[in-house]
Amino acid sequence: MITDYERIEKAIVYLKENFKEQPDLDAVAKQIHLSPFHFQRLFKDWAGVSPKKFLQFISVEYAKGLLKQNLSLSDVSFETGLSGTSRLHDLFIGIEGMTPGEFRNGGEALKINYSFAETPFGDIIIASTSKGICQLAFVKDEKYGIENLQFFFPNASLFQKTDMIQQEALRFFSGEWNDLQKVKLHLKGTPFQLKVWQSLLRIPFGNISTYASIAGDIESPGAARAVGTAIGSNPVAFLIPCHRVIRSSGIIGDYHWGSERKTAIIGWEAAKVYPEN
Protein backbone atom coordinates (compact mmCIF):
# COMPACT_ATOMS: atom_id res chain seq x y z
CA MET A 1 0.00 0.00 0.00
CA ILE A 2 1.39 3.39 -0.97
CA THR A 3 2.14 5.68 1.98
CA ASP A 4 1.41 9.40 2.30
CA TYR A 5 5.14 10.09 2.09
CA GLU A 6 5.40 8.19 -1.18
CA ARG A 7 2.45 10.13 -2.59
CA ILE A 8 4.02 13.46 -1.71
CA GLU A 9 7.39 12.33 -3.06
CA LYS A 10 5.73 11.41 -6.36
CA ALA A 11 3.95 14.76 -6.47
CA ILE A 12 7.17 16.67 -5.85
CA VAL A 13 8.97 14.75 -8.59
CA TYR A 14 6.09 15.48 -10.97
CA LEU A 15 6.16 19.19 -10.15
CA LYS A 16 9.93 19.39 -10.65
CA GLU A 17 9.78 17.57 -13.98
CA ASN A 18 6.75 19.45 -15.33
CA PHE A 19 6.92 22.92 -13.81
CA LYS A 20 7.31 24.54 -17.24
CA GLU A 21 3.76 23.45 -17.98
CA GLN A 22 2.60 25.16 -14.77
CA PRO A 23 0.24 22.27 -13.86
CA ASP A 24 -2.78 23.18 -11.74
CA LEU A 25 -3.95 21.47 -8.57
CA ASP A 26 -6.25 19.04 -10.40
CA ALA A 27 -3.49 17.86 -12.73
CA VAL A 28 -1.04 17.10 -9.92
CA ALA A 29 -3.68 15.45 -7.71
CA LYS A 30 -4.61 13.18 -10.60
CA GLN A 31 -1.04 11.90 -10.78
CA ILE A 32 -1.24 10.47 -7.26
CA HIS A 33 -4.89 9.42 -7.43
CA LEU A 34 -6.25 11.78 -4.78
CA SER A 35 -8.98 14.37 -4.84
CA PRO A 36 -7.67 17.95 -5.18
CA PHE A 37 -8.97 18.80 -1.69
CA HIS A 38 -7.27 15.82 -0.03
CA PHE A 39 -4.06 16.34 -1.97
CA GLN A 40 -3.89 20.04 -1.08
CA ARG A 41 -4.24 19.31 2.64
CA LEU A 42 -1.81 16.36 2.59
CA PHE A 43 0.84 18.27 0.63
CA LYS A 44 0.74 21.27 2.96
CA ASP A 45 1.05 19.00 6.02
CA TRP A 46 4.19 17.40 4.60
CA ALA A 47 5.84 20.26 2.71
CA GLY A 48 4.71 23.21 4.81
CA VAL A 49 3.38 25.09 1.78
CA SER A 50 0.63 24.55 -0.77
CA PRO A 51 1.35 22.78 -4.09
CA LYS A 52 0.87 26.11 -5.86
CA LYS A 53 3.43 27.84 -3.65
CA PHE A 54 5.87 24.95 -4.09
CA LEU A 55 5.48 25.28 -7.86
CA GLN A 56 6.19 28.99 -7.56
CA PHE A 57 9.40 28.28 -5.61
CA ILE A 58 10.59 25.90 -8.34
CA SER A 59 9.71 28.39 -11.07
CA VAL A 60 11.51 31.26 -9.34
CA GLU A 61 14.67 29.21 -8.78
CA TYR A 62 14.74 28.27 -12.45
CA ALA A 63 14.06 31.86 -13.52
CA LYS A 64 16.87 33.11 -11.27
CA GLY A 65 19.32 30.91 -13.14
CA LEU A 66 18.15 32.30 -16.48
CA LEU A 67 18.35 35.89 -15.24
CA LYS A 68 21.99 35.32 -14.28
CA GLN A 69 22.58 34.37 -17.92
CA ASN A 70 21.29 37.84 -18.92
CA LEU A 71 18.30 36.57 -20.86
CA SER A 72 15.55 39.09 -21.51
CA LEU A 73 12.57 39.11 -19.16
CA SER A 74 10.29 37.92 -21.95
CA ASP A 75 12.60 35.00 -22.72
CA VAL A 76 12.84 34.11 -19.02
CA SER A 77 9.05 34.18 -18.76
CA PHE A 78 8.66 31.94 -21.80
CA GLU A 79 11.33 29.43 -20.71
CA THR A 80 9.79 29.21 -17.22
CA GLY A 81 6.33 28.50 -18.61
CA LEU A 82 4.79 31.78 -17.52
CA SER A 83 2.30 33.65 -19.68
CA GLY A 84 4.23 36.92 -19.69
CA THR A 85 6.60 39.29 -17.95
CA SER A 86 3.85 40.57 -15.65
CA ARG A 87 3.49 37.09 -14.15
CA LEU A 88 7.26 36.86 -13.76
CA HIS A 89 7.24 40.24 -12.01
CA ASP A 90 4.43 39.23 -9.63
CA LEU A 91 6.14 35.93 -8.90
CA PHE A 92 9.41 37.60 -7.91
CA ILE A 93 7.68 40.23 -5.79
CA GLY A 94 5.73 37.52 -3.95
CA ILE A 95 8.63 35.11 -3.39
CA GLU A 96 11.80 37.21 -3.39
CA GLY A 97 10.44 40.60 -2.33
CA MET A 98 12.07 42.26 -5.34
CA THR A 99 11.53 42.61 -9.06
CA PRO A 100 13.34 40.35 -11.57
CA GLY A 101 15.48 43.32 -12.58
CA GLU A 102 16.48 44.01 -8.99
CA PHE A 103 17.42 40.37 -8.53
CA ARG A 104 19.57 40.43 -11.66
CA ASN A 105 21.34 43.54 -10.38
CA GLY A 106 22.15 41.69 -7.15
CA GLY A 107 21.33 44.56 -4.83
CA GLU A 108 22.70 47.28 -7.09
CA ALA A 109 22.00 50.78 -5.71
CA LEU A 110 21.43 49.30 -2.24
CA LYS A 111 23.65 50.99 0.32
CA ILE A 112 24.66 48.84 3.27
CA ASN A 113 26.53 50.00 6.35
CA TYR A 114 28.36 47.33 8.31
CA SER A 115 30.51 47.12 11.39
CA PHE A 116 32.07 44.55 13.69
CA ALA A 117 31.43 44.22 17.39
CA GLU A 118 32.27 42.01 20.35
CA THR A 119 29.44 40.23 22.17
CA PRO A 120 29.36 37.84 25.12
CA PHE A 121 29.07 35.02 22.56
CA GLY A 122 31.74 35.99 20.06
CA ASP A 123 32.48 38.56 17.41
CA ILE A 124 29.74 39.59 15.00
CA ILE A 125 29.23 41.50 11.80
CA ILE A 126 26.12 43.63 11.79
CA ALA A 127 24.81 45.25 8.60
CA SER A 128 22.00 47.69 7.94
CA THR A 129 20.22 49.57 5.20
CA SER A 130 18.14 52.70 5.62
CA LYS A 131 15.20 50.38 6.39
CA GLY A 132 16.81 48.31 9.14
CA ILE A 133 19.16 45.46 10.06
CA CYS A 134 19.64 43.17 7.06
CA GLN A 135 22.26 40.83 8.49
CA LEU A 136 23.78 39.87 11.82
CA ALA A 137 26.14 36.91 11.96
CA PHE A 138 28.77 35.48 14.25
CA VAL A 139 32.09 35.49 12.39
CA LYS A 140 35.52 33.96 12.75
CA ASP A 141 37.28 37.03 11.37
CA GLU A 142 36.48 40.27 9.58
CA LYS A 143 37.51 38.98 6.14
CA TYR A 144 35.06 36.11 6.38
CA GLY A 145 32.33 38.47 7.57
CA ILE A 146 32.75 40.82 4.62
CA GLU A 147 32.87 37.95 2.12
CA ASN A 148 29.67 36.51 3.57
CA LEU A 149 27.92 39.88 3.37
CA GLN A 150 29.05 40.31 -0.25
CA PHE A 151 27.76 36.84 -1.09
CA PHE A 152 24.21 37.80 -0.08
CA PHE A 153 24.40 41.33 -1.55
CA PRO A 154 26.90 40.97 -4.43
CA ASN A 155 26.33 44.36 -6.07
CA ALA A 156 25.42 46.50 -3.09
CA SER A 157 27.62 49.39 -2.03
CA LEU A 158 29.21 48.48 1.30
CA PHE A 159 30.42 51.05 3.82
CA GLN A 160 32.18 50.22 7.08
CA LYS A 161 30.17 52.43 9.36
CA THR A 162 28.28 52.07 12.64
CA ASP A 163 24.93 53.82 12.28
CA MET A 164 22.09 54.48 14.72
CA ILE A 165 20.16 51.39 13.62
CA GLN A 166 23.13 49.20 14.51
CA GLN A 167 23.68 50.98 17.81
CA GLU A 168 20.08 50.33 18.86
CA ALA A 169 20.48 46.64 18.00
CA LEU A 170 23.79 46.27 19.84
CA ARG A 171 22.17 47.47 23.07
CA PHE A 172 20.31 44.18 23.13
CA PHE A 173 23.54 42.32 23.89
CA SER A 174 23.81 44.38 27.08
CA GLY A 175 20.57 42.89 28.31
CA GLU A 176 18.35 45.82 27.36
CA TRP A 177 15.89 43.43 25.70
CA ASN A 178 12.93 45.72 26.33
CA ASP A 179 14.36 48.00 23.64
CA LEU A 180 14.19 45.29 20.97
CA GLN A 181 10.91 46.66 19.68
CA LYS A 182 12.83 49.76 18.58
CA VAL A 183 15.09 47.71 16.30
CA LYS A 184 14.08 47.84 12.66
CA LEU A 185 14.68 44.85 10.38
CA HIS A 186 15.10 44.77 6.62
CA LEU A 187 14.47 41.15 5.68
CA LYS A 188 14.34 39.30 2.39
CA GLY A 189 12.75 35.87 2.34
CA THR A 190 9.90 33.76 1.07
CA PRO A 191 6.45 34.33 2.58
CA PHE A 192 6.84 31.09 4.55
CA GLN A 193 10.25 32.11 5.90
CA LEU A 194 8.93 35.52 6.92
CA LYS A 195 6.02 33.89 8.77
CA VAL A 196 8.45 31.66 10.66
CA TRP A 197 10.77 34.55 11.54
CA GLN A 198 7.83 36.62 12.73
CA SER A 199 6.80 33.73 14.96
CA LEU A 200 10.31 33.61 16.43
CA LEU A 201 10.04 37.27 17.37
CA ARG A 202 6.99 36.42 19.47
CA ILE A 203 8.96 34.04 21.75
CA PRO A 204 9.52 35.97 25.00
CA PHE A 205 13.07 36.75 26.12
CA GLY A 206 14.38 33.96 28.36
CA ASN A 207 11.83 31.43 27.09
CA ILE A 208 12.11 28.56 24.62
CA SER A 209 9.80 26.95 22.11
CA THR A 210 9.84 23.92 19.81
CA TYR A 211 9.75 23.42 16.06
CA ALA A 212 6.30 21.87 16.39
CA SER A 213 5.04 24.85 18.41
CA ILE A 214 6.30 27.28 15.77
CA ALA A 215 4.60 25.20 13.08
CA GLY A 216 1.36 25.42 15.04
CA ASP A 217 1.76 29.16 15.58
CA ILE A 218 1.92 29.78 11.82
CA GLU A 219 -1.03 27.40 11.26
CA SER A 220 1.05 24.72 9.54
CA PRO A 221 1.03 22.00 12.22
CA GLY A 222 2.55 19.33 9.98
CA ALA A 223 5.41 21.48 8.76
CA ALA A 224 7.95 21.12 11.57
CA ARG A 225 10.69 20.12 9.13
CA ALA A 226 9.98 23.04 6.83
CA VAL A 227 10.00 25.30 9.89
CA GLY A 228 13.44 23.95 10.79
CA THR A 229 14.73 24.79 7.33
CA ALA A 230 13.32 28.33 7.52
CA ILE A 231 14.86 28.82 10.96
CA GLY A 232 18.22 27.68 9.60
CA SER A 233 17.95 30.38 6.92
CA ASN A 234 17.52 33.20 9.44
CA PRO A 235 19.86 36.04 8.32
CA VAL A 236 19.75 37.98 11.60
CA ALA A 237 21.20 36.01 14.49
CA PHE A 238 20.13 36.72 18.07
CA LEU A 239 17.72 39.56 17.23
CA ILE A 240 15.50 37.07 15.44
CA PRO A 241 15.82 34.47 18.21
CA CYS A 242 16.16 31.18 16.37
CA HIS A 243 18.31 30.06 19.31
CA ARG A 244 15.12 29.83 21.43
CA VAL A 245 13.79 26.88 19.43
CA ILE A 246 14.68 23.36 20.56
CA ARG A 247 13.42 19.88 19.76
CA SER A 248 10.28 18.55 21.43
CA SER A 249 12.44 15.93 23.18
CA GLY A 250 14.28 18.70 25.01
CA ILE A 251 17.48 18.32 22.99
CA ILE A 252 19.01 21.70 22.15
CA GLY A 253 19.40 20.78 18.49
CA ASP A 254 21.38 22.37 15.69
CA TYR A 255 22.26 26.04 15.36
CA HIS A 256 23.78 27.76 12.35
CA TRP A 257 26.47 29.30 14.53
CA GLY A 258 27.13 26.24 16.72
CA SER A 259 25.09 24.30 19.27
CA GLU A 260 27.48 25.31 22.08
CA ARG A 261 26.83 28.98 21.34
CA LYS A 262 23.10 28.27 21.26
CA THR A 263 23.28 26.65 24.71
CA ALA A 264 25.25 29.60 26.08
CA ILE A 265 22.76 32.16 24.76
CA ILE A 266 19.77 30.28 26.18
CA GLY A 267 21.49 30.08 29.57
CA TRP A 268 22.47 33.77 29.47
CA GLU A 269 18.92 34.86 28.73
CA ALA A 270 17.47 32.60 31.42
CA ALA A 271 19.90 34.06 33.96
CA LYS A 272 18.79 37.59 33.04
CA VAL A 273 15.13 36.74 33.53
CA TYR A 274 15.46 34.38 36.50
CA PRO A 275 18.50 35.59 38.49
CA GLU A 276 19.63 33.59 41.52
CA ASN A 277 18.63 35.07 44.86
The residues that are catalytic are 242
Span between the terminal Cα atoms of the chain, in Å: 60
- Minimal CA–CA distance to 149: which of 137, 133, 161, 141? 137
10 Å Cβ neighbour count for 117? Answer: 15
- Dihedral sign, CA of 19, 21, 24, 29? negative
Say if CB 11 and CB 54 are below 8 A apart.
Answer: no
Torsion of Cα atoms, 156 then 162 then 167 then 173, to 10°: 90
Measured distance CA(133)–CA(135) in Å, rounded:
6
Q: Determine the Cα angle at 244 with ends 240 and 249, to 5°.
A: 145
Cα diameter, the chain = 68
10 Å Cβ neighbour count for 165? Answer: 23
